Structure 1
Amino acid sequence: MPDEQRPRRRASVRPNAVGAAVVALAADRSDRLGRPLEVLDLGGGTGGVAVALGEAGHRVTVVDPSPDALAALTRRARESGIEGLVTGVQGDGDSLAEVLDGRVVDLACCHGTLEFVDDPETTLRAVAAALAPGGVLSLLVSGRLAVVFAKALAGEFDQARSALRHPSGRWGPTDPLPRRFDPDEVEALLARTGFTVEQSRGIDVLRHLVPAPLVDSEGDRAAVAELDELLVEVAGSELLRILGHGLHVVARRD
């Protein structure tokens, strides 16, 4: 099924920590280049990351198959006073060359998108072609083992077993995600498509494991989010990379 026809459901990874990391990454890259960045946000939807980058002064092109999401993006950019810096274009990975029309970008974001495309390798090759040499990719994907643990802790053992054994990490036919990823799989995929991994960290290690009744207030949710951030910073936390609900990878185009 072509990307633009596929029903889209965003991967449910908390974007706040990733968004802050991308803004910091963009600031560092901008300092090195001595200018604001040209940014591609593939599958950027309503602009959760794009608007923050636009507010920091970077020029962002959001490519997404959903016209409703792009309409929301336009409203958010207008309300933030950055409509001249954030542009939404309907499309997918197959249309990047046409959308950019020969332009190259300094930073590409691909968050919660590889789960849904027809061929992740083809999509990453298109992103690599859109990046300038030495350009940076921020990639966020859903992790397989996180759902295995979550299903097992919920007593859904058959679904946990299915997610562990299924080639795409799916727990059953009604699973909303077409695929999930293992860290080694992601790193191999990036290597094949012209990238060198510079950083890889788990996102949302705890939030999806804590029973919902225990996080029914904003304070509870903030406390769990803070614990998640602290966990990935402590020594010996490398294992948490594979247990995160999401895997955030920063890679450089070779």
Structure 2
Amino acid sequence: MTLSGVDPRLDLCQQRPLERLRFAVTEANLLRHVAPGPQRVLDVAGGNGVEAVRLAALGHEVTVLDPAGAMLSTAIETADALDVADRLHVVQAGALDAPDVFAGHEFDVVLCHNLLHYVDEPGEVLRAVYAPLRDGGLLSLLGPNVDFDPLHAAVRSNDPVEARAALCRDGATVGELVALLAELGVEEVVRYGVRCVSDLMPDVGHDPAFLKQLERLEIALADRMPQLLTARFFHLLARR
């Protein structure tokens, strides 16, 4: 799946090629599971709204939840610039406030991307962001994959000492997150990898044709073993 139908102006939201690639692959993974037609999406800790605006451009109704007012202002400005402001909403609050702010199960999709590795109690945050999800809804979790670090240190930095040290670093593993999801009653969890090979390349450059081919490769690798196990980011999709 490619995202050729997405407004090219969205590239203005994220200038770095690897960042654009992360958003594209994550979105492609997500769209494999999202039901046809417009969905109600909650983007927890959505910050400047890059992912939210992309989904709004595809016709979905997206709410960005974030405690930083300045970031939410940027999300609104970007939505205005891309003519999707009518489908993007913002709420200034933290992830733990989600059950109170969104009483009841309201959303078809909840995104919790690049958040859980920053918190002391990921289980508590998971319970909070899971609460507004309707029965049958989709929860999307994305974060840095600790199993990528030794590979990166050895291949990119040519540093076996650093690679060995990375084996011992703490970090929420995918197995731990799957166990926390099981405690919530989730039965179906699908794992993808995001940026399986791009971060190991010396320089991806800025050539649009090359980057499009790289995007196609990364989307194809996202569900392939063993590449997804050592990707730069893990991506879990769970059905309530």
Report the CA distance between 1:209 and its aligned residue: 0.7
Residue deviations 1:119-138 (CA, integer Å, cap 9, x gap): 21111111221111221111
**1:86 alignment counterpart:** 88
> In the TM superposition, what are the counterparts of 1:18-167 in structure 2 within 5 Å?
18-23=26-31, 25-26=33-34, 28=35, 30-31=36-37, 36-102=38-104, 104-153=106-155, 154-167=157-170
Are residues 159 and 89 of structure 1, via their aligned partners in 2, closer, same or farther at CA, if it must alter by over 3 Å? farther
How far apart are the structure 2 equivalents of 1:129 and 1:63? Answer: 14
Q: Runs of at least 4 residues of structure 1 off by over 6 A?
A: none
Whichever residue aligns with residue 217 of structure 2, its letter is L
Across the aligned residues of Structure 1 and Structure 2, the Cα RMSD in angstroms comes to 2.3
Report the CA distance between 1:185 and its aligned residue: 2.5
Q: Please list every run of 5 or more consecutive structure 1 residues that lacks an aligned counterpart in the other structure.
A: 1-10, 169-180
**1:8 alignment counterpart:** none
Q: What is the identity percentage for the equivalent residue pairs of Structure 1 and Structure 2?
A: 30
**1:17 alignment counterpart:** 25
Are residues 231 and 134 of structure 1, via their aligned partners in 2, closer, same or farther at CA, if it must alter by over 3 Å? closer
Q: What is the TM-score with the length of structure 1 in the denominator?
A: 0.77
How far apart are the structure 2 equivalents of 1:146 and 1:188? Answer: 21
How far apart are the structure 2 equivalents of 1:198 and 1:116? Answer: 22
**1:196 alignment counterpart:** 187
Residue deviations 1:46-69 (CA, integer Å, cap 9, x gap): 222211222333221111232222
The aligned length equals: 220
1:195 alignment partner, SS class: coil
